[in-house]
Amino acid sequence: MSKVMSELTSTDQTLLCPLASYGLLSVTGDDARSFLQGQLTANVNALKPGDLCYSAHCEPTGKTLSVFWLYCHSDNEFWLILKHSAIAPSLAQFEKYGVFNKVTFEDKSSDLNLIGLVGSSETFELPNEADLIAKLKVGSEPNQFVLVYKSEIESNSDEKLWDALEIERVRPQLISELTQQFVPQMLNVQAWDGIDFKKGCYIGQETVARMRYLGKQKRALFRVSGTAHVPFEVGAQVERKVGENWRRGGTIIMAVNRTDTQVDGLVVLPIDIEIDTPLRLQGDDDGLLEIHTLPYQLG
């Protein structure tokens, strides 16, 4: 059982985490569905009002601009919930391709409040339900929801717990500094049913399909944890041990510091790396990280 899960199942506590680094991008209009169908890796046409899925947005060469939860609020309104800094790269491409469509884009992050709810119980009392716009279930064991409010809601935890749980699930979010570096499969988006390989054309689809059908995937996302004595942060480089030497391993995508030296994170590594390969942060001679077995099949 994971650290976050064991902490929650030992009590009946419901934790409310402020998702301060997340944002909400709204896509509305008569052409919103068809437009997003040609932009995103998920099958937007399959979503009914109230449906939620995980997805990615690519630029023309197939590199990922953002990953997010995609919520169908109504037939002509969709929400992307993602790290706020990743909104700008996706919004720029949406605006470029959307000029000939009946579609409108709006960053609603300053108008709405996002709260992460985590708890072991199936039942819980939500605060200030009159101002609750949406309750989106994004995980089980423990139960995990994104709550969208019109007003500010008091929290009893912090965003670090939410990110720690996402790391344990090996489900990434990108910040703007890491956009356009990874094809979606390198971020395991397909493991979350975030790529529909039969939906037809969308921006970047050729690269995504080639990686699947021609066996070109060389990197994937893994969870690592251990000790670090230099800053363990998003964008930092990890080294892997090869014989008696250390070689470039990969890039940290998400990071949580549980203590001053105990860390947990998601790293893009060679897909065929041995699970017992020692890792360390670049330049951290005294640090040591271990690779965890993935909690799902990559497919």
Q: Are residues 74 and 181 in the same domain?
A: no
Structure tokens at 232: 């363990």
What's the rounded Cα separation, in Å, for the pair 204 and 38? 10
- The CATH number of the domain holding residue 86 is 3.30.1360.120
Q: Are residues 24 and 147 in the same domain?
A: yes
Q: Which of 103, 131, 158 is the last residue of a domain?
A: 158
- Residue 2 has what pLDDT? 54
What's the rounded Cα separation, in Å, for the pair 219 and 223? 13
Assess if residue 168 is contained within a domain: no
Is the pLDDT at 193 greater than 50? The verdict is yes
Assess if residue 254 is contained within a domain: yes
Q: Are residues 134 and 220 in the same domain?
A: no
pLDDT band at 1 (very low <50, low <70, confident <90, very high): very low
Q: What are 152-177's pLDDT values in tens digits?
A: 999 999 999 999 999 999 999 999 99
- The CATH number of the domain holding residue 222 is 2.40.30.160
As a whole-number percent, the residues of the chain with pLDDT over 90 amount to: 90
Answer with the residue of higher pLDDT: 234 or 123: 234
Q: Are residues 90 and 180 in the same domain?
A: no
Please give the model's pTM, rounded to 2 decimal places.
Answer: 0.94
pLDDT band at 216 (very low <50, low <70, confident <90, very high): confident
Assess if residue 186 is contained within a domain: yes
Q: Are residues 230 and 112 in the same domain?
A: no
Q: How many CB atoms lie within 10 A of CB 257?
A: 16
Q: Are residues 13 and 153 in the same domain?
A: yes
Assess if residue 164 is contained within a domain: no
Output phi, psi for 6, to 5 deg: -65, -35
Output phi, psi for 182, to 5 deg: -135, 135
- Residue 12 has what pLDDT? 60
- Residue 33 has what pLDDT? 98
DSSP string, 243-296: TTEEEEEEEEEEEEESSSSEEEEEEEEETT--TT--EEETT-TT-EEEEPPPSS
Q: What domain range includes position 150?
A: 1-158
Q: What are 115-151's pLDDT values in tens digits?
A: 999 997 767 788 899 999 999 999 999 999 999 999 9
Q: Which of 96, 124, 158 is the last residue of a domain?
A: 158
What's the rounded Cα separation, in Å, for the pair 39 and 68? 13
Mean pLDDT value across residues 9-24: 84
Q: What are 61-118's pLDDT values in tens digits?
A: 999 999 999 999 999 999 999 999 999 999 999 999 999 999 999 999 999 999 999 9
Asked whether 278 and 240 are in contact (CB, 8 A), the reply is yes
Q: Are residues 14 and 105 in the same domain?
A: yes
Assess if residue 169 is contained within a domain: no
Assess if residue 201 is contained within a domain: yes
Q: Are residues 121 and 195 in the same domain?
A: no
Is the pLDDT at 6 greater than 60? The verdict is no
Peptide bond into 142 cis (omega under 30): yes
Q: Are residues 24 and 144 in the same domain?
A: yes
As a whole-number percent, the residues of the chain with pLDDT over 70 amount to: 96
- Residue 11 has what pLDDT? 52
Assess if residue 272 is contained within a domain: yes
Assess if residue 52 is contained within a domain: yes
